[in-house]
Structure 1
Amino acid sequence: MYRDTWAEINLNHIRTNLSVIRQTLSAQVKLMAVVKANGYGHGDVETARSAELAGADYLAVAYLDEAIHLRTKGIKLPILILTPIKPDDVQLAIAFDLMLTVTSAAWFEEMRVFKEEAYCSKLKVHVKMDTGLGRIGIKTKEEWDEIVPWLRAADIVVDGFYTHFATAGMADTTYLDQQAQRFMTMMGWSETSSIRVNHFHCAGSAAALRFPHLAMDMVRIGAAMYGFYPQNLISHLQLEPALSLHSRLIQVKKLMKGEFLGYDNLYQAEADEWIGTIPIGYADGWSQRMQHTELLIEGQRAPIVGKICMDQLMVRLPEYCEEGTLVTLIGKQGDEEITFNELAAHIGSVSQEISTSLTARVAREYTGKKEAGAKWVKQTLPFTSSSVKM
């Protein structure tokens, strides 16, 4: 690390969060840990290994390249790709023993051109149903009837049948209840079509924690494993954020009353002030939407002033501080804390937008590998072709 800006990832918190969540589930319910988007910005390989150590049964990612990366790093848990892949990549998915999300008969028809040895290598799929989120998935009975013949093929294994809720993090459950009822109806379609389905799942983090009756055969835990969840609606659980963000002052200067600071003269000192410069900016994922937020220095809150730059930002210090003084942008110092929830509310978004926005320029440092011991070391062995199930 050649600059003083880094994110610290506590892998113990990830494992503990998953263990706490696991204890709320019935023994027969499987847990799918979602490690897409580089583990929500926490590191995909590290969070995948932590999830497995915590007892996860499955992993999920968004894209094929994310799944292949995990396989090449020695991750062997079953992996579901949540976004449909291109039909011509089907052989690659089979070679790496990956499960695919499917949403249409048209995909299967095109895929058949590329899938070799149709009845030798099995293709495992999860059928995505659109119950009201409106993103991807089968919405009508007609669409389902079109895909059924493809699902009955001897080389197709329907490992899952699932949907995703649009409002699981909102207090009003009216729309969620409507989606759940639609999904129950759609589950009936699979039964009357004599399609054998290994797992039915509809609950992501918020739904799984709030509504245990929706756990079904499996739950998909993404945001909650990193400590992101609607605390006001789930007061019976205490999950810990796994990521904190830190930097150091690289320069401290005196700004005199009336002087301007930063691009476009956006800030003007109302009195003589001490200003500190910190090496993080919007190219690191700390966007200009973070203007007017605060950070911690020597246990005190200090406001960001002026426009956030590409590589640096400025803060009004509570008093003179030495260059090199630790600054915390997310996390605790003494009795003060800057939380993801606070920052997400400021930008009108969710905590995971902040963590996934942190770019590769921000070094990740991990704590908790030592506690995992030999089990962690064992899982660093690379994935090889001999371990692929064909």
Structure 2
Amino acid sequence: MVPGYHRPAVVKVNLGAIRRNIKNEMKHLATGQKMLAVVKANAYGHGAVEVAKIAIEEGAAGLCVAILDEALQLRHADIVKPILVLGVVSPEYAPIAAANNVSLTIPNLEWLKETEKYLEKEHLQLKVHIGVDSGMGRIGFNEDADFVAANEFLQDNDNFYVEGMFAHFASADSADDTYFKHQVKKFAHMRSLLTVKPQWIHVDNTAASIFDKNIPSDCVRFGIGIYGLNPSSNPSSPDLKSSIPLEPAMSFESELTHVKMIHQGDGVGYGSTFVADQDTIIGTVPVGYADGFIRKFQGFKVKVGDEYCPIVGRICMDQFMVKMPKKMPLGTKVVIISNDPTAPNNIKAAADYVDTIHYEVACLLNDRLPRVYYEK
């Protein structure tokens, strides 16, 4: 989408908060452990290039993304640190990754064999990380025979440089560690079958690190923690206590573009799901579900000036309406999502309201909303 630079609606990102979150995790790392900063999905909606540069300044050894294009975006921004693509990249694009010094994940033996053909044709060597499915059920090796065969295939194979081996925890953010321990055991078993020698073996994610799971891991893939958010955040359970301070970096702000009085019997929005029972002051905010602020937020209270006002009527594609206790001037600031974790419209409260997690709320805010960066 085209960014709306001529509309009063922005996502503000405090790079100072991001810097402090990274500093706190760097201090928390075990001796010799490194950080891989996860900046996939436009750094969880915060801005990949800007966050990556802060992470590198603060000592991150490398970066992780989800798709090859995200890695190329960072390379085009003159970022030279190691970059790992965590998802599956089609073998035909492996030469592009190799030419840009981008590491790819090996999901299975078939991928390795097919990728080799493209690399040989271009006379290129590709850096790879062996993906292990220790219980997430997504990608990677979960059978001993296939894993051993892949190791044999990679042994003395000049088309590949084995930079790493990794897995991802499904429940490191849960108070119940039963399945977490199952995954740890599975990964340790697969590690015992290794015959190639990766530079980095990494399994720690934000949750495993800040909840002190104490798992051997050369690197911590630090993701949601960069943005000051607790990975255990869930509508159905309280957050687990983090061993490092976390400072939310994102706020979502707009302003009133229209204010009017409606009267008894007047409806608001599609389907008239709100009908005034008396004279009511309605304000309009120029943000809608096309920006990633979904219709389920109807009823959520946003801060208009100094007042918390409920969203009334269905959220439209490009606008939503609020019920206000008094008339306020056009241009009055509207904080839709606050970066103050104690505010009633903080990102966890917003996620709880629509029965999801803050990861999703942040990632949904798309590029029609310009990012405004400041350091405080």
TM bracket (short chain):
over 0.9
Alpha-carbon distance change, 329 to 106 in structure 1, aligned in 2, over 3 angstroms: same
Question: Which residue of the partner structure matches residue 223 of structure 2?
Answer: 222
Match of 2:92 among 75, 88, 94: 88
Question: Which residue of the partner structure matches residue 273 of structure 2?
Answer: 266
Alignment partners' CA distance in 1, 2:51 and 2:204 = 20
Question: Which residue of the partner structure matches residue 181 of structure 1?
Answer: 185
Letter in 2 for 1:203: D
* Partner deviation per Cα, 1:36-89 (whole Å, 9 max, x = no partner): 111111111101101111111110000111101110111111000001211111
1:359 and 2:366 correspond: yes
What root-mean-square deviation, in Å, do the aligned CA atoms of Structure 1 and Structure 2 show? 1.8
Question: Which residue of the partner structure matches residue 304 of structure 1?
Answer: 311
Question: Which residue of the partner structure matches residue 172 of structure 1?
Answer: 176
Question: Which residue of the partner structure matches residue 52 of structure 2?
Answer: 48
Deviation at 1:117, TM superposition (A): 6.7
Moved over 3 A (4+): none
Unaligned segments of structure 1, at least 5 residues:
372-390
Alignment partners' CA distance in 2, 1:317 and 1:336 = 19
TM-score (ref. length: structure 2):
0.93
Deviation at 1:318, TM superposition (A): 2.4
Between the two proteins, the alignment pairs up a number of residues equal to: 365
Unaligned segments of structure 2, at least 5 residues:
234-238
Match of 1:143 among 142, 146, 153: 146
**8 Å Cα contact 2:210/2:242 also seen in 1:** no
Question: Which residue of the partner structure matches residue 74 of structure 1?
Answer: 78
Deviation at 1:134, TM superposition (A): 0.4
1:130 and 2:133 correspond: yes
Alpha-carbon distance change, 174 to 303 in structure 1, aligned in 2, over 3 angstroms: same
SS at match of 2:371: strand
Letter in 1 for 2:154: L
Alignment partners' CA distance in 2, 1:145 and 1:215 = 22
**8 Å Cα contact 1:301/1:336 also seen in 2:** no
SS at match of 2:118: coil
Question: Which residue of the partner structure matches residue 21 of structure 1?
Answer: 25
Alignment partners' CA distance in 2, 1:174 and 1:336 = 34
1:11 and 2:15 correspond: yes
Alignment partners' CA distance in 2, 1:215 and 1:350 = 28
Identity across the alignment (%): 35
**8 Å Cα contact 2:11/2:370 also seen in 1:** yes
Alignment partners' CA distance in 2, 1:299 and 1:238 = 28
* Partner deviation per Cα, 1:222-245 (whole Å, 9 max, x = no partner): 111011113721244321111101
Alignment partners' CA distance in 2, 1:117 and 1:211 = 46
* Partner deviation per Cα, 1:163-189 (whole Å, 9 max, x = no partner): 111112221111111111111111111
**8 Å Cα contact 1:165/1:202 also seen in 2:** yes
Deviation at 1:257, TM superposition (A): 2.3
Question: Which residue of the partner structure matches residue 314 of structure 1?
Answer: 321
Alignment partners' CA distance in 1, 2:56 and 2:306 = 36
SS at match of 2:331: coil
What pairs up with 1:194-233 in 2 under 5 angstroms? 194-214=195-215, 216-229=217-230, 230=232, 232-233=239-240
Match of 2:249 among 225, 233, 242: 242
Alpha-carbon distance change, 325 to 73 in structure 1, aligned in 2, over 3 angstroms: same
**8 Å Cα contact 1:16/1:54 also seen in 2:** no
What pairs up with 1:314-333 in 2 under 5 angstroms? 314-331=321-338
SS at match of 2:245: coil
Alignment partners' CA distance in 2, 1:297 and 1:184 = 53
Deviation at 1:146, TM superposition (A): 2.4
Alignment partners' CA distance in 1, 2:244 and 2:152 = 44
SS at match of 1:202: strand
Deviation at 1:336, TM superposition (A): 4.1
* Partner deviation per Cα, 1:77-114 (whole Å, 9 max, x = no partner): 10000012111111111110011100111111111221
**8 Å Cα contact 1:341/1:351 also seen in 2:** yes
Match of 1:348 among 355, 366, 374: 355
SS at match of 1:166: coil
TM-score (ref. length: structure 1):
0.90
Letter in 1 for 2:133: D
Alignment partners' CA distance in 2, 1:337 and 1:345 = 11
Alignment partners' CA distance in 2, 1:315 and 1:322 = 14
Alignment partners' CA distance in 2, 1:336 and 1:133 = 34
